[in-house]
Structures are given as structure tokens and as C-alpha cells.
């Protein structure tokens, strides 16, 4: 009687704290958790880190490749539907993976550099070329950049602040603009594009009329008013299309965004390649016939536990310390429990998710099955918000080496969008949105004409009357 009473009162605050914390942990990315753990480790003596890799499922030691012999060994290698979970690891940039970070460029150390913030990054590049007072100006300019990488303060403002002439400011700005990411420190997308063009013109051919379009018809361009551009600048529609395509593929109107790789340019999922993923899915030995390997990246290598020595010590704790030590112990065990809980949830989530979407993982966008978070939550018997948190703020690397947000697994329209993309790619003569609706209806997909238009826009496909001439690839 007395015991249960006591157990309850002790249990409740702990479990609710556990729940609350687990929830917050669940919503964090590997990076954020890493930070949290590091800080806890540094202040809490009761917490101990063991550098040994263990299976997230059964907590047994793993083989060298990080595969749990206990959990996954008995399964046959030929079974395509097998999904194997391997130990979370923190050093995901193994030699074989190093090319992920920059499939387009060969600069090797983009990864090390992308962690620092944009102003620092730029300043480091141009620093050597600057005089002392130019440096001050540059620093001032750079800290004033907005998230798009544009300068927000006016030249005159700075000039009067530093008692120098505006032209000297301009000089510094120009240097900044030619640093990587190309075009930072411009005032608007238009200027950024011009800088990029100037730079690229020595490296590749720029389609005829590109400068003119950007300089004189930028607003028309972003609104897709190609006819008008054509009239104003006397360029053919074909030329304008080339220009548009060139800009879309080679330039970036928002230099700051590319730097962060944020998901702000919806049509360009490639940019997300620069994110460190929270989960990696790959084939065993990179062989598509073999099992899928799912790795959930852990914030730290090894695992955490409550330090047994500290626990012992606590029994003989001096009066004055009892309180504080107990606090430490509680926090340590809470953290460990939370992390285990989080891991457990993530593993279960990915298990069902990859199983359901294995075709998507293996064969790409077209084979995605529309799934909602709510459905998954029922299958796993957890609250919807749990799944929501588990999915948010996380990215996955697919065997194709693309890094996408985990939420893409729940993209209801991705499969239809790919069909449309394929349809347009293989079309003989341009299909109008209405035609596409017909075809889709024939395939058993029932959506409105207006929706097709939206999907088209999402995929960056021009309207039918503008894509009649050249067909790319």
C-alpha cells in the first residue's frame, strides 16, 4: 500500500519530464542533439560516454561494418525486401561517401567550410586582399547581410559612419561580390545575377541576350512575361527560353540561400545535398540487388550511460552534496532514457517507413506511395504528434545519394508530379494542362486541371505554349 503510493508520487514527475524531453529530443536533428549532449557531458559528472558501438535494437556489440549480427545476420542476402539497421554513427563522411557533398564541384573542403557562418566564410576569403580599414568596412557590411545574402544597409550610411567616400565602400562591396558564394553582398537578385554572369562569362558561353534580359527585363522575366520581353528587346522566344534555362541552371538569384542550402527554392532539391543527413539509406555494398541498409545517425559515437562509479560515490555523498548529486544523477538517467526512447522511436518509424516506401527508396520519385503521418502513427500506436516531431527537421540520404527531407516520404503528390514530368519529357508536341488531365484520368488519377498547373509549376516546367521549340535532353 504504502509502497505503491510512494512509487506513484515518485514516478509521475519523472515520467512526465521524460515524456516532455523525449518529445523535444524527437524533434531535434542529430546536430542539435549533439550540441545538447556535449554540453550535458561537460557539466554533469554523472553522465558517461562509452566509445563502443552497439546495436540500437538489442544493445549488443556490432561487427566491424556496424551490422548487428544478432538482429540481422539470419536473414538471407538475396531477399530484396530486407531492411537492416546498423549502428548509428557520427562519422558518416566515410571515404566512399565523400563525393556527396559536392557532385558538381571539385573543391574538396566545402564541408569543413560550410559550418561557419556566411559573414565569416566570406571574410576569410577576401581578408588577405584587404587593408585594415577596408576589413572593418567589410565586416560591417557582411554582418548586415540578410538571409538571402543581400546587403541591407545603404552605401551612404556606411560611408558617413566610417567617414570615407562611397566609392571606397563600393570597392569593398565589389570584392565581396566576387567571393564565394558568387554574388553575395549585392543589393538585389538582379545585381547578384549580373555579378555571376560577369564571372561565368570567362568560363562558359552565355546565351545571347542574357545580360540584356537581366538588366532591362528582370521583372518581366520572373513573372514569365516572355512575349513582352521578346517585344521590348527584340529577341526571339527561343532565345529567351535559352536565357531562362541558363539562369535557372547556372545562376542563383539568392546567393545566401545557396550557401545555407535551405529549402527556400522549392524547385531545387539538389541544393539540399549540402545538408548533413540524419538518416542514411544505402544498399549493402552499394549493390542494388542486396538489402537496404538504414542508418540513423547518432549525435555522438558510442553511447551514453549513467556513470556507475558516480552512482557508487553517491551512496557516501557528503551531506552538503547530496542534493546536487541526486540532481545530476536524475538528469543523467533522464537524458539516457530519452535518447534511448528517441532512438527506439526513430528505428520503429524508419522500419515501417522504408518498408512502405521501399520502391520509392529504390526507384525514385515515381514510385512513392502517398502516406500520411496519421496512418503511420496508427500503425506504430503512438500519437500523431510523435510522428510529426520525428519527421520534422530531419533529412535522409537515399541510395541514389540524394539528400531529401524526411518529410518527402509523406509527399502526397510527388508520384503524380513525376508522371507529369515524364509525360512532358516524352511529349511529341506540347501537352496543355487539360490534355494532361485527360491522360492522368485515363491512368486512374483523378485531379483537377488547376492542380496539374500547380504541379507543373512545382517542377519548374514552362506552360505548354512556351515549350514548343527546343526540347532539352
Partner DNA sequence: CTATGGCACGGATT
Partner DNA sequence: AATCCGTGCCATAG
Binding footprint of DNA on the chain (CB under 7 A): 223-225, 227-228, 372-374, 384, 388, 392, 410-413, 430, 432-435, 446-451, 453-454, 456-457, 463-465
Please identify, using beta-carbon distances, which residue of 144 and 430 lies nearer to DNA.
430
Please identify, using beta-carbon distances, which residue of 78 and 446 lies nearer to DNA.
446
Please identify, using beta-carbon distances, which residue of 334 and 447 lies nearer to DNA.
447
Please identify, using beta-carbon distances, which residue of 351 and 451 lies nearer to DNA.
451
Cell numbers representing residue 354 in the block: 522504408
CA dihedral over 415, 421, 425, 429, signed as positive or negative: positive
3-state secondary structure 343-372: HHHHHHHHHHHHHHCHHHHHHCHHHCCCCC
Please identify, using beta-carbon distances, which residue of 381 and 446 lies nearer to DNA.
446
The whole-angstrom separation of Cα 326 and Cα 305 is 16
Contact 175, 130 (CB under 8 A): yes
The whole-angstrom separation of Cα 59 and Cα 68 is 9
Contact 276, 31 (CB under 8 A): yes
Please identify, using beta-carbon distances, which residue of 13 and 266 lies nearer to DNA.
266
Please identify, using beta-carbon distances, which residue of 305 and 451 lies nearer to DNA.
451
- How near is the Cβ of 385 to DNA at its closest, in Å? 7
Please identify, using beta-carbon distances, which residue of 131 and 374 lies nearer to DNA.
374
Phi, psi of 295 (to 5 degrees): -120, 130
- How near is the Cβ of 440 to DNA at its closest, in Å? 10
- How near is the Cβ of 305 to DNA at its closest, in Å? 33
* Residue 61 CB contacts under 8 Å (≥ 6 apart), including other chains: 52, 53, 54, 55
The whole-angstrom separation of Cα 197 and Cα 219 is 18
- How near is the Cβ of 454 to DNA at its closest, in Å? 5
- How near is the Cβ of 371 to DNA at its closest, in Å? 8
The full DSSP string for 375-423 is: HHHHHHTS-HHHHHHHHTT-EEE-TTS-EEEGGGGG-SSHHHHHHHHHH
Please identify, using beta-carbon distances, which residue of 13 and 460 lies nearer to DNA.
460
- How near is the Cβ of 447 to DNA at its closest, in Å? 4
Cell numbers representing residue 18 in the block: 521524460
- How near is the Cβ of 136 to DNA at its closest, in Å? 40
The whole-angstrom separation of Cα 187 and Cα 341 is 47
- How near is the Cβ of 458 to DNA at its closest, in Å? 8
Q: Report the Cα–Cα distance between both ends of the chain, in Å, rounded.
A: 77
Please identify, using beta-carbon distances, which residue of 43 and 374 lies nearer to DNA.
374
- How near is the Cβ of 51 to DNA at its closest, in Å? 36
The whole-angstrom separation of Cα 196 and Cα 193 is 5
- How near is the Cβ of 382 to DNA at its closest, in Å? 13
Q: Which of 319, 347, 346, 314 is nearest to 333 (CA)?
A: 314
Cα 367 to the center of its chain, rounded Å: 21
Q: Which of 51, 49, 52, 56 is nearest to 86 (CA)?
A: 56
Amino acid at each position: 500500500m504504502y509502497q505503491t503510493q510512494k512509487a506513484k508520487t515518485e514516478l509521475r514527475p519523472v515520467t512526465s519530464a521524460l515524456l516532455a524531453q523525449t518529445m523535444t529530443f524527437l524533434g531535434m536533428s542529430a546536430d542539435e542533439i549533439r550540441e545538447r549532449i556535449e554540453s550535458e557531458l561537460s557539466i554533469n559528472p554523472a553522465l558517461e560516454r562509452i566509445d563502443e558501438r552497439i546495436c540500437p535494437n538489442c544493445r549488443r556489440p556490432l561487427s566491424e561494418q556496424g551490422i548487428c549480427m544478432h538482429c540481422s545476420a539470419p536473414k538471407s542476402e538475396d531477399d530484396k525486401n530486407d531492411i537492416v539497421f546498423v549502428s548509428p554513427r557520427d562519422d558518416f563522411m566515410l571515404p566512399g561517401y565523400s563525393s556527396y557533398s559536392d557532385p558538381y564541384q571539385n573543391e574538396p573542403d566545402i564541408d569543413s567550410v560550410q559550418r561557419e557562418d556566411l559573414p565569416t566564410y566570406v571574410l576569410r576569403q577576401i581578408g588577405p586582399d584587404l587593408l585594415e580599414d577596408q576589413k572593418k568596412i567589410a565586416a560591417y557590411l557582411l554582418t548586415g547581410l540578410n538571409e538571402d545574402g543581400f546587403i541591407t544597409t545603404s552605401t551612404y550610411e556606411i560611408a558617413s559612419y566610417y567617414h570615407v567616400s562611397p566609392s571606397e565602400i563600393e570597392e569593398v562591396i565589389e570584392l565581396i561580390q566576387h567571393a564565394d558564394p558568387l554574388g553575395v553582398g549585392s543589393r538585389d537578385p538582379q545585381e547578384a545575377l549580373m555579378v555571376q554572369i560577369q564571372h561565368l562569362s570567362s568560363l562558359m558561353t552565355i546565351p545571347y541576350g542574357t545580360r540584356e534580359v537581366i538588366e532591362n527585363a528582370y521583372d518581366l522575366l520572373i513573372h514569365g512575361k516572355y512575349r513582352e520581353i521578346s517585344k521590348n528587346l527584340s529577341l526571339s522566344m527561343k532565345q529567351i527560353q535559352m536565357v531562362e534555362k541558363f539562369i535557372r541552371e547556372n545562376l542563383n538569384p539568392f546567393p545566401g540561400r545557396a550557401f545555407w542550402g535551405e529549402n527556400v527554392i522549392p524547385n531545387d532539391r539538389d541544393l539540399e545535398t549540402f545538408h548533413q543527413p540524419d538518416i542514411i539509406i544505402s544498399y549493402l555494398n552499394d549493390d542494388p540487388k542486396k538489402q537496404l541498409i538504414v542508418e540513423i545517425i547518432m549525435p555522438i559515437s558510442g553511447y551514453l550511460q549513467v556513470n556507475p562509479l558516480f552512482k557508487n560515490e553517491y551512496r557516501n555523498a557528503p551531506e552538503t552534496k547530496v542534493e546536487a548529486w541526486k540532481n545530476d544523477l536524475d538528469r543523467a538517467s533522464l537524458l539516457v532514457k530519452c535518447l534511448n526512447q528517441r532512438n527506439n522511436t526513430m528505428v520503429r518509424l524508419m522500419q515501417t517507413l522504408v518498408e512502405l516506401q521501399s520502391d520509392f527508396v529504390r526507384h525514385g520519385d515515381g514510385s512513392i506511395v502517398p502516406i500520411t503521418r496519421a496512418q503511420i502513427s496508427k500503425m506504430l500506436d503512438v500519437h500523431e504528434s510523435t510522428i510529426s516531431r520525428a519527421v520534422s527537421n530531419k533529412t535522409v540520404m537515399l541510395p541514389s545519394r540524394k539528400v531529401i527531407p524526411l518529410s518527402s516520404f509523406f509527399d502526397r503528390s510527388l508520384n503524380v508530379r513525376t508522371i507529369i514530368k515524364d509525360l512532358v519529357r516524352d511529349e511529341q508536341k506540347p501537352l496543355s494542362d487539360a490534355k494532361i488531365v485527360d491522360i492522368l484520368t485515363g491512368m486512374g488519377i483523378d485531379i483537377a486541371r488547376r492542380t496539374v498547373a500547380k504541379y507543373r509549376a512545382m517542377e519548374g516546367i514552362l506552360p505548354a505554349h512556351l515549350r514548343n521549340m527546343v526540347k532539352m535532353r
